Amino acid sequence: MSVSFTRREAWRNRFLILPSVLLLAAFVVYPAGFAVYTSLTNEALSGPAAMNPRFVGFANYAKLLTDQNFWRSLAITFWFVLFSAIIGQLVLGLLSAMLLNRRFALRPLVNAIILMPNAVPEVVAALMWASMLAAGEYGTLNNIVAWFGVDPQRWLTSFPLTMIIIVNIWRGIGFAMILMTSGLSSISDELYEAARMDGANTSQIFRRITLPLLVPTIFLYLLVSTVSTIAIFGLVFALTRGGPAGSTELVGIYIYNQSFNSYQLGYGSAVAVVVLVFSLLVGMLYVRALKVDV
Amino acid sequence: MSSITLTNIRKRFGALEVIKGVDISIADGEFAVFVGPSGCGKSTLLRMIAGLESISDGEFRLDGELMNDVSPDKRGLAMVFQSYALYPHMTVAENIGFSLDLKGVDKAEIKRRVGAVADKLQLGKLLDRKPQALSGGQRQRVAIGRAIIKEPKVILFDEPLSNLDAALRVQMRAELQELHRTTKSTIIYVTHDQVEAMTLADRIVVLSEGQVKQADHPIALYKQPDNLFVGQFIGSPKMNVFQARVEAVDDTSARIVTADGWTVALDSVKGLSAGETVQLGIRPEDLSLAEPSNADITVQAILSERLGMETYVSFQTKGEPAIARIAGDHRIGTGEQVPLKINRNACHLFDSTGRAIRRS
């Protein structure tokens, strides 16, 4: 190939990625950079700092270290991610993928039931669950448990974290199932037949063939779902606003509350930057752990 | 001892019957090959023997024992798959030893037996590799190793050489024969390649549309096909068939005239009557180049293919073009007149339904 052809090709390729580069720069890189800058100031939405924001160095980060509410929200986020994304969605997504790999009469219906939550806008989903979990005898769930003789519960007050974990599992199974289905379909039927001929029973086939061959898919799923669940906001905010008493204040909600309820934009930005670094670390860990092709 | 008897075996997928009452018996230590065109049911039949497909009707007995509802791993069979089906996340050693590991055989014993099998198949140096780091032939050997470590009564092969290149196929064919000689196990082998079938089999079962067309020793199939289908399926290039009429008969011979007006007098033919319609089968190798003076027929060449040691001459007939396989290298141009001699003793006769008319 001639030098001029190669050079022309290189220019054409740069031209092709230009729109993406511009959009990413405008809506991701610039805001992120601005957040880093803001986190180093005492920018606020009211008070003297709003008039004259000052550069404060790492003061916001120093304050973070001793902020009990920040550590509490990190802990809540950890449990939320662990139980809803890593355990709940993954296990149920894998189970439903395996179930739907078989043929049975109600398959399209089950498929729709699992995928629908993913298609509903998150605020709509949250409002549905607000009605479902409403306290008092008119709440849908209270009506259901009443058949079993259980007294009406204040679900979102008594078990707030458990409830948002359940809601998030419900919403995320579909995505996990789609990924797991694609992982399962890449395992050839002949492998299962060979394993049967070798004398493996159903559970041995699952443990020794299916699961090891799904590991790359599972890691890919964990990468995507961990990072997106750390950043979750709308679903939980619409349902609980982080309450009661901060018990569902995920780190995303904490950032919002600090920035727009306490008006401390600089401090909120510092939390956001820490979470960004944290997500990057988790992502790198997964990618390293299994050299997943992302 | 491990003999196999299939009695009136049928397989239905819904309303569609794909195996239509098959009877086959395979003796202990026999190398049986199921052969037939795509879709004839040979793989389905093999999978029914393996236990991977259920048997809709009929009986499958192994050493006299009814196997219809026995699970695949309890039948004492091993199978080598077309794609080899090696477990991609396991090493060669783990692949070969997987069945023993599942049975709970202890690690040292597994290692010893895997080592022995690997030596036999020249896989000793590859035991720690994963399947993707192996060549096609090596993968094939691992798949065979995985089968023979179980010391099965019968080894089933499902088109095992179809993913290999031509040179490797010839080599693996030799290795399979060697394997059969040393293990003395009963083998059932499925292929659509009649050369593989001819070279490997003690007995070939020719299948078409879910039915057995003929089952016999390869040379018997070649020399005495029961029907036109077998006659044309076995042998390459395939047998030429000419529509013909019986012109005259006496006690032991008949004079046949083909649609092209060629007259062929055949000995040792019985049971024909004059005027009857027959099909005359002549293998390409039974047509040879002759001097114009003593030629049986003279044909017009369409195409000649020179292979060096022999020449394939295609020629025009009233029916489909026919082919002659002539020894030696000949330069024959398109349109040229070619005098041919017919080996009358090797001609085959079939009635109008395609059933062979035996010559004594």
| pLDDT computed for residue B35 by the predictor | 93
How does residue A37 score in pLDDT terms, banded at 50, 70 and 90? confident
Q: Starting at the earlier edge strand, list the strands of the sheet with B65-66.
A: B16-26, B4-13, B57-62, B65-66
Average pLDDT of B189-203?
91
Per the structure, the complete domain to which residue A211 belongs is given by: 67-290
Residue A11 inside a domain? The answer is no
Average pLDDT of A255-263?
82
Per residue in B300-345, pLDDT (tens digit) is 999 999 999 999 999 989 888 999 999 999 999 999 999 999 999 8
How does residue A58 score in pLDDT terms, banded at 50, 70 and 90? confident
Residue A270 inside a domain? The answer is yes
| pLDDT computed for residue A60 by the predictor | 80
DSSP state of B345: G
Average pLDDT of B157-186?
88
Q: Give chain A's length.
A: 294
| pLDDT computed for residue A1 by the predictor | 57
Q: Name the residue ranges covered by the structural domains of chain B.
A: 4-233, 240-357
The total domain count for chain A is: 1
Q: Shortest CB distance from B50 goes to which of A188, A191, A197?
A: A197
- The answer to whether B85 contacts A199, with C-beta atoms less than 8 Å apart, is no
* Angstroms from B110 CA to nearest CA on chain A: 14
| pLDDT computed for residue A293 by the predictor | 47
Q: In A, which residues are within 8 Å of B103 by CB distance?
A: 199
* C-beta neighbour count of A113 within 10 angstroms: 13
The token pair at B185 is 């196990």
* Angstroms from A255 CA to nearest CA on chain B: 44
* Best mutation target, B43, B48, B52, to test chain A (most A CBs within 10 A): B52
Among the ranges given (A23-37, A136-150, B38-52, B116-130), the one the predictor scored with the smallest mean pLDDT: A136-150
B73 and A CB contact within 8 Å: yes
Q: Which CATH architecture does the domain made up of B4-233 adopt?
A: 3-Layer(aba) Sandwich (3.40)
Residue A56 inside a domain? The answer is no
Residue A36 inside a domain? The answer is no
| pLDDT computed for residue B187 by the predictor | 93
- The answer to whether B102 contacts A191, with C-beta atoms less than 8 Å apart, is no
pLDDT at B98 over 90: yes
Residue A6 inside a domain? The answer is no
Q: In A, which residues are within 8 Å of B88 by CB distance?
A: 213
Helix (H), strand (E) counts: chain B:
8, 21
Percent of chain A with pLDDT over 90: 18
| pLDDT computed for residue B1 by the predictor | 57
B277 and A CB contact within 8 Å: no
Q: What is the average pLDDT score of chain A?
A: 85
> What fold, for B240-357?
OB fold (Dihydrolipoamide Acetyltransferase, E2P) (2.40.50)
| pLDDT computed for residue A43 by the predictor | 76
| pLDDT computed for residue B277 by the predictor | 92
pLDDT at A135 over 80: no
Helix (H), strand (E), coil (C) string for B143-201: HHHHHHCCCCCEEEEECCCCCCCHHHHHHHHHHHHHHHHHHCCEEEEEECCHHHHHHHC
Q: Which CATH number belongs to the domain containing residue A218 in this structure?
A: 1.10.3720.10
Per residue in A65-104, pLDDT (tens digit) is 888 888 888 898 999 999 998 898 999 999 999 888 888 8
Among the ranges given (A257-266, B54-63, B279-288), the one the predictor scored with the smallest mean pLDDT: A257-266
| pLDDT computed for residue A294 by the predictor | 43
How does residue B275 score in pLDDT terms, banded at 50, 70 and 90? confident
DSSP state of A131: H
Residue A159 inside a domain? The answer is yes
Kind of pairing between the strands at B287-289 and B337-342: antiparallel
